[in-house]
Amino acid sequence: MTELAAVPVTALKGVGAALAEKLAKVGLETLQDVLFHLPLRYQDRTRIVPIGSLRPGQDAVIEGVVAGADVVMGRRRSLLVRLQDGSGTLSLRFYHFSQAQKDALKRGTQLRCYGEARPGASGLEIYHPEYRALDATEAVPVEQTLTPIYPTTEGLTQQRLRQLTSQALARLGPHSLPDWLPAELARDYRLGKLDDAIRYLHRPPADADLDELAEGRHWAQHRLAFEELLTHQLSLQKLRESVRCQQAPRLPVARRLPQQYLINLGFQPTGAQQRVGAEIAYDLSQPEPMLRLVQGDVGAGKTVVAALAALQALEAGYQVALMAPTEILAEQHYLTFCKWLEPLGIEVAWLAGKLKGKARATALEKIAGGCPMVVGTHALFQDEVKFARLALVIIDEQHRFGVQQRLALRQKGIDGRLCPHQLIMTATPIPRTLAMSAYADLDTSILDELPPGRTPVNTVLVADSRRFEVIERVRSACAEGRQAYWVCTLIEESEELTCQAAQSTYEDLSAALVGLRVGLIHGRMKPAEKAAVMAEFKEGLLQLLVATTVIEVGVDVPNASLMIIENPERLGLAQLHQLRGRVGRGSAASHCVLLYHPPLSQIGRERLAIMRETCDGFVIAEKDLELRGPGEMLGVRQTGLLQFKVADLMRDADLLPAVRDAAQTLLARWPDHVSPLLHRWLRHGQQYGQV
Ligand code: ADP
Ligand code: MG
């Protein structure tokens, strides 16, 4: 028997070139693809429901006798057919109908219909039901299984998909669709048979539990989710292997530069910084590329860790590139590294998209010429940027970078031969279960200690009807020599409207707070203007900074101890946490006012309450996950990192530890099962990174 993975859809009856093209649009090229194209939901057409027991909103098969069919003139002309069974009466309503259709629906005709019963002008009605006339002499059986509803595309009907899946199911068996999970694993993890699971999900029996299926709790769904998550895990591990088996420059643990650096720094690294620093130092001394993620809450001091890593490469005579997702943040890092490295006699170069003409040419030349430390934005990824001896790439705030971009770095290595080490730093704490799945290709270190002297930010929830009091609060904080942020959140996903709102808030606050020096920063300003405003705020020349969420990432002004966030209900918790991390960086007690617009939804209230209760990014991340689901939280929609067909990280989180173990076992004992699995699940997407 041929494997269905090798049989093209054109082998099915009724599939010609035109249909094959449509099928390809939904990713269906082989019979295996057809079988893995699973229903989104089901209809129950296995029983005939008495009309008298129908409830509004119920999808049902009914059977009855036509008691009358009339064209009625309402707002729109329609054909109204009265249908009776022994238990009650209901109307079928057609807005589009032909004379022939009307004639066929004459009094006394026996009909079987399927549709949704809805309350209408004449009691319960079904609009445009599917129907057929029944002949008294033949018994027409009802469906034997639940009716699947598939994801589809224009011009591809459910009926057609059902025909195709029926044909493919007829050819399904353990040999035509190999089960790549060895029996031993299936037994250990109590997983059913693949072909049974597929058959069940395409055609569940009449007594299947629809609720269980809708919630994804059925064993057949578990079986497939497990395989899909396993495959995802395998693809990340392969990705990791493909990086690890490359050569990287060995960087001996540094002595001289770190010592000098720490003397100049003015504070002691925290225990966590030392521990993570040592983990990185060890990785860098190895001949294979480091791939390490440092998770540390906002303000945990990741920059110091990055600097220590950089010094190890610099002392060994190599180049280091540090990348940040925004110009503001990149520039801040540039200034920090200039301050830290120039006293050590190390030159720092700067590259960003805004750098043009001569300045750009000079920067590129410097980098190609071996300037030891390079700081910049995504611009560092561009092809024309050539490094001389790049040994370490540091990426700040990883969640904004895709897997693809991370991989593109490999090409920047030395002579295309030695791959640079990669250090990725993120301030978005990721719940452990998710981290395991989303970042299986990385080793992780956690900076779980804040530098001494920080006081947790005191967070309060205030309804925007009390805006006036909040403004007074800003006034008195500034009178005491403190600085404050006033953050305007995104309006309906429109950057332009958001900037306008920030502009008018700026005007209002300037008018209300006469004598206070108020600044404005938003995404529509030129980078140079933004930088100038930021610099003034940092130097204390501005007391209040009205901002959009452009200040979210990394900006460091220790004297700012009050933050007002307008309409916090519009933001994700991770983002709120990032924002709030801008205050509480100095020794003064800091406050964050969440100025919400009532009424809040139940979930909205719960979410903001979490912000009030804790400043621990990991706790916030766990709760956010609980309340919202992972897709949004990781900001992965752009990278497509976590798009699954069957699995749902939230729902199936409890499978993840087993999945990880199973992946290891499979790689060790059944390595030849790995590529067929990758092929089965990932062929159509680069979603998990090129494998
Ligand atoms: P993040 O982890 O959010 O990137 P930063 O690296 O910007 O944090 O550090 C936040 C602030 O804490 C900076 O002003 C930094 O100089 C300071 N800092 C970092 N480590 C220490 C430490 N061990 N002791 C005192 N202050 C520190
Ligand atoms: Mg930072």
Is 652 within the bounds of a domain?
A: no
Query: Both 267 and 332 in a single domain?
Result: yes
Q: Which atom of ligand 1 is nearest to the CA of 302?
A: 2
pLDDT band at residue 643 under the 50/70/90 scheme: low
With a Cβ cut-off of 6 Å, ligand 1 is lined by: 267-270, 273, 296, 298-304, 427, 451, 554, 556, 585
Query: Both 513 and 622 in a single domain?
Result: yes
For the chain, give the mean pLDDT: 87
Considering every ligand atom shown, identify the ligand nearest to the alpha carbon of residue 556 and give its number. 1
Query: Both 468 and 443 in a single domain?
Result: no
Task: Tell me the best of 262, 265, 267 to mutate to test the pocket of ligand 1, counting ligand atoms within 8 Å of each CB and taking the most.
Answer: 267
Tell me, in angstroms, the distance from the centre of ligand 1 to residue 281's CA. Answer: 19
pLDDT band at residue 649 under the 50/70/90 scheme: confident
Tell me, in angstroms, the distance from the centre of ligand 1 to residue 267's CA. Answer: 10
Taking only the tens place, the pLDDT of each residue in 175-213 is 889 999 999 999 999 999 999 999 999 999 999 998 888
Is 464 within the bounds of a domain?
A: yes
Query: Both 539 and 475 in a single domain?
Result: yes
What's residue 246's pLDDT? 84
pLDDT band at residue 468 under the 50/70/90 scheme: very high
Query: Both 39 and 55 in a single domain?
Result: no
Provide the number of structural domains found in the chain: 4
Average pLDDT, integer, range 116-121 = 89
Indicate which residue's Cα is closest to atom 9 of ligand 1: 301
Tell me, in angstroms, the distance from the centre of ligand 1 to residue 530's CA. Answer: 23
In sequence order, which residues have a C-beta less than 8 Å from that of residue 160 and are 6 or more positions away? 19
The 3-class secondary structure across 626-668, one letter per residue, is: HHHCHHHHHCCCCCCCCCCCCCCCCCCHHHHHHHHHHHHHHHH
Q: What is the DSSP string of 217-231?
A: -SHHHHHHHHHHHHH
Query: Both 441 and 483 in a single domain?
Result: no
How many other C-beta atoms can be found within 10 angstroms of the C-beta atom of residue 138? 6
Read off the tokens for 562: 């009050």
Query: Both 492 and 432 in a single domain?
Result: no
Tell me, in angstroms, the distance from the centre of ligand 1 to residue 271's CA. Answer: 13
The residue among 103, 133, 163 that closes a domain is: 133
Average pLDDT, integer, range 469-484 = 95
Considering every ligand atom shown, identify the ligand nearest to the alpha carbon of residue 553 and give its number. 2
Q: 446: part of which helix (H) or strand (E)?
A: strand 443-447
What's residue 558's pLDDT? 86
In whole angstroms, give the CA distance from residue 17 to residue 21: 6
CA distances from 580 to 98, 101, 378, 487, 547 (A): 64, 66, 26, 10, 13
Considering every ligand atom shown, identify the ligand nearest to the alpha carbon of residue 326 and give its number. 2
Report whether 50 contacts 58 (CB < 8 A): no
Query: Both 336 and 477 in a single domain?
Result: no
Q: Which one is predicted more confidently, 435 or 500?
A: 500
Q: 147: part of which helix (H) or strand (E)?
A: strand 147-149
Indicate which residue's Cα is closest to atom 24 of ligand 1: 451
Tell me, in angstroms, the distance from the centre of ligand 2 to residue 449's CA. Answer: 14
**pLDDT for residue 564 is more than 90:** yes
Residues, CB within 5 angstroms of ligand 2 (ion): 302, 554
> Radius of gyration over alpha carbons of the chain, in Å?
31
Q: Which one is predicted more confidently, 63 or 641?
A: 63
Average pLDDT, integer, range 406-413 = 69
What's residue 631's pLDDT? 44
In whole angstroms, give the CA distance from residue 322 to residue 380: 9
Tell me, in angstroms, the distance from the centre of ligand 1 to residue 304's CA. Answer: 7
Report whether 83 contacts 90 (CB < 8 A): yes
Is 568 within the bounds of a domain?
A: yes
Q: Are strands 88-94 and 348-351 parallel, antiparallel or unpaired?
A: unpaired
Is 170 within the bounds of a domain?
A: yes
Per-residue buried b or exposed e for 438-460, using 16+ beta carbons within 10 Å of the residue's own CB: bbbbbebbbbbbbbeeeeebebe
Query: Both 416 and 519 in a single domain?
Result: no
Report whether 633 contacts 621 (CB < 8 A): yes
pLDDT over 90 percentage in the chain = 56
In whole angstroms, give the CA distance from residue 164 to residue 21: 14
Is 251 within the bounds of a domain?
A: no
The residue among 447, 469, 491 that closes a domain is: 447
Query: Both 437 and 547 in a single domain?
Result: no
Taking only the tens place, the pLDDT of each residue in 106-116 is 999 999 999 99
Q: Which one is predicted more confidently, 588 or 293?
A: 293
Query: Both 334 and 389 in a single domain?
Result: yes
Average pLDDT, integer, range 590-595 = 96
Q: Which atom of ligand 1 is nearest to the CA of 273?
A: 23
Q: Which atom of ligand 1 is nearest to the CA of 296?
A: 2
The residue among 394, 415, 447 that closes a domain is: 447
Nearest Cα to Cα of residue 261 among 344, 178, 318: 344
Q: How many separate helices (H) and strands (E) can be counted in the chain?
A: 24, 22
- Compute the Cα dihedral for 177, 659, 665, 671 and give only its sign: positive
Average pLDDT, integer, range 636-645 = 48
Task: Tell me the best of 293, 304, 398, 538 to mutate to test the pocket of ligand 1, counting ligand atoms within 8 Å of each CB and taking the most.
Answer: 304
Considering every ligand atom shown, identify the ligand nearest to the alpha carbon of residue 581 and give its number. 1
Tell me, in angstroms, the distance from the centre of ligand 2 to residue 482's CA. Answer: 22
Is 231 within the bounds of a domain?
A: no
Q: Are strands 518-521 and 544-547 parallel, antiparallel or unpaired?
A: parallel
Average pLDDT, integer, range 70-79 = 88
Q: 609: part of which helix (H) or strand (E)?
A: helix 602-613
Query: Both 489 and 611 in a single domain?
Result: yes
Q: Which atom of ligand 1 is nearest to the CA of 300?
A: 2
Is 516 within the bounds of a domain?
A: yes
Tell me, in angstroms, the distance from the centre of ligand 1 to residue 169's CA. Answer: 60
Residue 100: give its domain's CATH number: 2.40.50.140
What's residue 691's pLDDT? 29
Task: Tell me the best of 293, 297, 303 to mutate to test the pocket of ligand 1, counting ligand atoms within 8 Å of each CB and taking the most.
Answer: 303
Taking only the tens place, the pLDDT of each residue in 242-287 is 777 888 999 999 999 999 999 999 899 999 999 999 999 999 999 9
Tell me, in angstroms, the distance from the centre of ligand 2 to residue 540's CA. Answer: 21
What's residue 686's pLDDT? 41
Taking only the tens place, the pLDDT of each residue in 334-380 is 999 999 999 999 999 999 988 899 999 999 999 999 999 999 988 88
Nearest Cα to Cα of residue 435 among 617, 203, 667: 617
Which structural domain range is residue 470 located in? Answer: 457-629
Average pLDDT, integer, range 476-487 = 95
Best-predicted range by mean pLDDT among 151-160, 172-181, 307-316, 496-505? 307-316
Is 225 within the bounds of a domain?
A: no
pLDDT band at residue 239 under the 50/70/90 scheme: confident
Indicate which residue's Cα is closest to atom 17 of ligand 1: 301
Report whether 101 contacts 95 (CB < 8 A): no
Tell me, in angstroms, the distance from the centre of ligand 2 to residue 572's CA. Answer: 19
Indicate which residue's Cα is closest to atom 13 of ligand 1: 301
What's residue 408's pLDDT? 64
pLDDT band at residue 398 under the 50/70/90 scheme: low
In whole angstroms, give the CA distance from residue 596 to residue 338: 40
What's residue 13's pLDDT? 93
**pLDDT for residue 630 is more than 60:** no
Helix, strand, coil percent values for the chain (each to nearest 5): 45, 20, 35
Residue 568: give its domain's CATH number: 3.40.50.300
